């Protein structure tokens, strides 16, 4: 099966709408019938991926018939998924090879690998098809259990960071290196390109730092506004950028910026 871009799917959908419109109008004998056909055409076009009801394509309308099979056998057919998976595996290999014989470092690598996978299209909802001589059986993979996912927790003191299992049953200490122990205190967090970034905070109100391996490295780029606490960060544009907003004081209480 070949998979197309959302715009190509939109074009295919519009062709279907036009065909239905033609079938509708050829049987009309009055203006009321024609008007109804035009109304149905509008509804059909709006419901297409990239239409007004689905402005970002199949992301907004995953159940649309032209989008529904996008994740079937994704490991074989969905190029976006395969590229994302290969990038995550490649980075995991680099990070693991850079670790010292320290289980905390290895656990952190796998935790970040899990985070990257959840950014991949179709992850957690792939379907697989098994074909025999007499029938085809479609099954949905079982989602990852909470106990298999770890959440990195960075408290006020970076030196006390740990990995928390998704079901809350276990904790593993994590060694995070930073310029000072309160480096991440009051900072906002967001994933950008699969890596954890922190913004502002108590130690430096305009800093932007990235977690590389097990080290928080400060970037040369800075925030435009001082954001000591009370601000928030959110991954946007499919994880490629971060939106940082608000603060505690009047001058930045209603401001936002994009990294």
Q: What pLDDT was estimated at residue 130?
A: 44
Q: What pLDDT was estimated at residue 250?
A: 63
Q: How far apart are CA 223 and CA 129, in angstroms?
A: 48
Q: pLDDT tens per residue, the chain (259 residues)?
A: 333 466 778 888 888 899 888 888 888 888 888 889 899 999 998 888 888 888 877 766 777 777 766 677 778 777 788 888 888 888 888 888 888 887 877 888 888 788 778 778 777 654 444 444 545 555 555 555 655 678 888 888 888 888 887 777 777 888 888 999 889 888 999 999 989 999 998 889 899 999 988 889 999 999 998 888 888 898 998 889 999 988 876 666 778 889 9
User: What pairs with residue 18 in β-bridges?
Assistant: none
Do 54 and 80 have their domain in common? no
- Tell me, yes or no, whether 157 lies in a domain: no
- Tell me, yes or no, whether 25 lies in a domain: yes
| pTM greater than 0.85 | no
Q: How far apart are CA 177 and CA 170, in angstroms?
A: 22
- Tell me, yes or no, whether 150 lies in a domain: no
- Tell me, yes or no, whether 65 lies in a domain: no
Do 54 and 78 have their domain in common? no
Do 40 and 93 have their domain in common? no
Do 50 and 78 have their domain in common? no
DSSP code string of the chain:
-----HHHHHHHHHHHHHHHHHHHHTT--SHHHHHHHHHHHHHHHHHSTTSTTSTTGGGT-TTSTTTTTTTBTHHHH-HHHHHHHHHHHHHHHHHHHH--S-HHHHHHHHHHHHHHHTTSTTTT--EEEEE-SS-EEEEEPPPPPGGG-EEEE--SSGGG-EEEETTSS-EEE---B-SSTTTTTT-EEEEETTEEEEE--SS-TT-EEEEETTEEEE-S---SS---SS-EEEEETTTTEEEEE--SSTTTTT-EEE-
- Tell me, yes or no, whether 68 lies in a domain: no
- Tell me, yes or no, whether 160 lies in a domain: no
Do 91 and 139 have their domain in common? yes
Do 126 and 82 have their domain in common? yes
Residue 8 makes CB contacts below 8 A (sequence gap 6+) with none
Q: Which residue, among 231, 144, 131, 239, has the nearest Cα to 187 in the 3D structure?
A: 231
Do 199 and 250 have their domain in common? yes
Do 48 and 87 have their domain in common? no
Do 121 and 186 have their domain in common? no
- Tell me, yes or no, whether 110 lies in a domain: yes
Number of domains within the chain: 3
Torsion of CA 214, 218, 219, 220, to 10 degrees: -150
- Tell me, yes or no, whether 153 lies in a domain: no
Which domain does 27 fall in, by range? 6-59
């Amino acid at each position: 099966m070949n998979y197309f871009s959302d715009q190509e799917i939109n074009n295919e959908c519009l062709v279907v709408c036009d065909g239905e419109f033609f079938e509708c109008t050829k049987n009309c004998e009055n203006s009321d019938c024609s008007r109804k056909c035009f109304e149905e055409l509008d509804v059909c076009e709006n419901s297409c991926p990239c239409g007004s009801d689905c402005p970002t394509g199949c992301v907004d309308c995953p159940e649309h018939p032209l989008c529904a099979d996008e994740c079937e056998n994704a490991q074989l057919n969905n190029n976006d998924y395969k590229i994302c998976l290969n990038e995550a595996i490649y980075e995991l290999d680099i990070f693991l090879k850079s670790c010292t014989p320290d289980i905390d470092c290895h656990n952190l690598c796998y935790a970040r690998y899990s985070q990257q996978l959840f950014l991949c299209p179709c992850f957690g909802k792939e379907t697989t098809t098994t074909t025999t001589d007499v029938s085809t059986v479609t099954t949905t993979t079982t989602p990852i259990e909470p106990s298999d996912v770890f959440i990195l927790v960075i408290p006020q003191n970076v030196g006390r960071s740990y990995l928390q299992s998704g079901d809350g049953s276990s904790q593993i200490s994590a060694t995070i290196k930073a310029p000072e122990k309160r480096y991440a205190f009051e900072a906002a967090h967001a994933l950008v390109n699969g890596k954890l970034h922190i913004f502002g905070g108590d130690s430096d109100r305009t800093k932007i730092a990235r977690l590389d391996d097990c080290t928080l490295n400060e970037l040369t780029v800075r925030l435009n506004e001082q954001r000591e606490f009370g601000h928030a960060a959110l991954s946007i544009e499919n994880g490629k950028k971060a939106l940082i907003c608000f603060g505690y004081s009047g001058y930045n209480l209603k401001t936002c910026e994009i990294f």
